[in-house]
Amino acid sequence: MSGVATAEMPRAANLPTGLRRVGADERAGALYRGPVKAVILDWSGTLADEHVIAPIDVLLDVFKRHGVEITMEEARLPLGLRKDEHIAKILAIPDVQRRWKEAHDGAASMACDVQTLYNEFIPKQLEVMRKHTSLIPGAVDAVDELRDQFKCKIGVTTGLPQALAEVMLHDGSGQGFVPDSNVSADTIPKGLGCRPAPFMVYENLAQLGVYPIHSVVKVDDTAVGVAEGVNAGCWSVGIAGAGSYTNVKTRQHWAVLDRNDKEARLEHARSELVKGGAHYVIDSISLLPVVVRDINSRLAEGDRP
């Protein structure tokens, strides 16, 4: 065969001789049609710390120490990002920046202020986090089913640094959860970027030895974490019922809300996760095995994320 497009090898219009665009039907035999091999889970709001309580009071306190009152909604807005980026995004909120200037003789916040706030946040977060490492109900059973029935490997990602992830790993193991791989935001070179960049997913897959990307599912409770999966090229699942978008101060706060209020908050969470590009949105991690079963059927038919 000469390599030149002929009548038997149709060439798309405007492509030069010697270049052939291969159609999807011709490539169908090479498509991966096997099952899901790996599920990559976020920590806070997905696996543990139901409703993402741990970082919020710390962020409010750290900003207050610098003369700036921020709201719970402002503190939650950038959740899912690496924590220095999270703090920078809070400072970029116009009302927060206005308050910062009022508290600092008209001076705008700078990169050094972000670093100062971050340096104060980490040790305080470490103290608080130990109270919020309980796994979300249904998490262990869902992971066990993914492993036992679907033979999936399990990885985890977090926007927190590894020092804080170690606390969750330790406490999670005592509750029956031990992942096969673990990647924290500070283990990825800053030049590559954290969420919504896909590199924490890719690093998990390197540790797990898993490919192709179509055989991978990313699970998160934030739009930026869902987008991380979409940008990686894998299936992306949003969890609405236990994440930050429920916007409650405590788990007890959620428990006493009436049905209509809960449903309104859940619908808001679902909507935000869809905006992030989720292929599936579920209210509870207990539904994750159902999602994987459905993805397996789609993969068998040659479907792709």
Distances (CA, A) of 249 to 38, 145, 231, 292: 33, 31, 31, 32
Distance between CA atoms of 266 and 240, rounded to whole angstroms?
A: 6
The tokens 């898993």 sit on which residue?
210
Query: Is 144 a residue of the active site?
Result: no
Distance between CA atoms of 201 and 167, rounded to whole angstroms?
A: 21
Query: Is 221 a residue of the active site?
Result: no
DSSP one-letter code for 39: E
Distance between CA atoms of 187 and 82, rounded to whole angstroms?
A: 11
Distance between CA atoms of 6 and 27, rounded to whole angstroms?
A: 19
Residue of 37, 49, 83, 218 with catalytic role = 83
Widest Cα–Cα separation across the chain: 75
Percent helix / strand / coil, the chain, rounded to 5: 50, 10, 40
Beta bridge partners of 219: 41, 237
Residue 139 phi, psi dihedral angles, 5° rounding: -65, -50
Question: Is residue 220 classed as helix, strand or coil in its secondary structure?
Answer: strand
Residue of 42, 49, 186, 220 with catalytic role = 42
The tokens 């579920």 sit on which residue?
282
Q: Which residues are catalytic?
A: 42, 83
